Amino acid sequence: MVVEENMSKAWNESATLQIVDAGEFQPDKTASQLNTKYGSILYERARVSTDDYRKLNQQGFLKVEGLLSADDIRELSQHMDDVLAGKETAPGFPKIDPSFSASQRVAAFSRIHNAHRVHALHERFLLHPRILDVVEQLSGPDILALQSMAFFKEPGQPGQGLIAAWVAISDATEDNGCLWFRAGSQVEPTYPCPGNSFTQAASGLDGVFQNFTASVLEPTDNQLTGVAERYPEIPCPAKPGDVVFFRGNILHRSHANNSSTSRRAFVAHYCDARSFVPWNIGRGWEGMDEGKGANNLHILARGGSHLPYAHPRFGTPIQRLR
């Protein structure tokens, strides 16, 4: 559930912000083993405390400072520079013409969804051992990797039972669009979307309404605004390498980037690998109409499962139960 702010008037209103979803495309077959070499890299195991665990569950989010190294962040940042410059691409990515202006390049990439299915770097960071270390300690040993997103939040651009890991690639400040959370709102029931049978479980509770406006940008027209206002709103600025973990049902948003610098982030979503997953990057899947799950389309990132699962497409090393 996300409540957004108004779009910034500073953004070039003639530009069309492009949300790229690469998940439906197939990767280059020659790239299938690109990440196998990273099996020789040894990372120090990341640890969080019982205080951290309580903080996550009490307020709904937890920032782990310096979880990723400076080298990791430089690699992600350079990749995003190269994508905007047209030096690097993947199936499903928009074509960047050399004649494009800076604003046209940025407009082509507001954010990229699910590039882990077509680009080795995105898969590697979705399955980064230190991120998974923390997810394991906060949510359990069996981890299914559901979704990845890369945010190119340039100056003037507007804001936007799982656990999310939000990796700061650049400084995230209140001026350039850091995350804001309604602390404690994760205790709310699900306010179901009409027509989605998977969100109707709580609809019998008194006070639960059919949520017709979850994606409406104007707060005064969004039904979830009244829910959000029950809880204090807390900013969560972050430094490059910090990772913010939060429950998927906490109300959160980011404001417009009103600074002169970009705010970049890589985001991954995970869930318990032993739970039924009725979701495939917003698209249908074989057996959906018969009530079959989509677990087989998502990577088992760690642990084990009695349900089907996918394997990394680019050979990223992972830890599984034998």
CATH number, domain containing residue 120? 2.60.120.620
DSSP string, 38-105: GGGPPPPPP---HHHHHHHHHHSEEEETT-S-HHHHHHHHHHHHHHHHTS---TTPPP--TT--HHHH
In-domain check, residue 14: no
Read off the pTM: 0.88
What would the two tokens of residue 17 be?
A: 């912000």
Q: H-type helices in the chain, by residue range?
A: 50-59, 70-85, 102-108, 120-126, 129-139, 224-228
Is 267 part of a structural domain of the chain?
Answer: yes
In a domain, 230, yes or no: yes
Domain count, the chain: 1
Residue 10 domain flag? no
Q: At what angle do helices 50-59 and 129-139 cross, to 10 degrees?
A: 70
Contact criterion met (CB below 8 Å) for 86 and 96: yes
In a domain, 295, yes or no: yes
Question: Is 44 inside a domain boundary?
Answer: yes
Cα–Cα distances in Å, from 275 out to 70, 129, 295, 304?
A: 35, 22, 9, 11
Does residue 58 fall inside a structural domain? yes
Pair of tokens at residue 14:
């003639």
Would you write out the chain's pLDDT as a tens digit for each of its 322 residues? 233 232 222 222 223 345 667 877 778 766 777 888 787 678 899 999 999 999 999 999 999 999 999 999 999 999 999 998 889 999 888 888 888 887 788 777 778 899 999 999 999 999 999 999 999 999 999 999 999 999 887 665 555 478 999 999 999 999 999 999 999 999 998 888 776 666 655 567 888 888 888 778 788 898 999 999 999 999 999 999 999 999 988 999 998 889 888 899 999 999 999 999 988 877 788 888 888 899 999 999 999 999 999 999 999 998 765 4
Domain that holds residue 119: 19-317
Closest C-alpha to 21, from 94, 88, 96, 80: 94
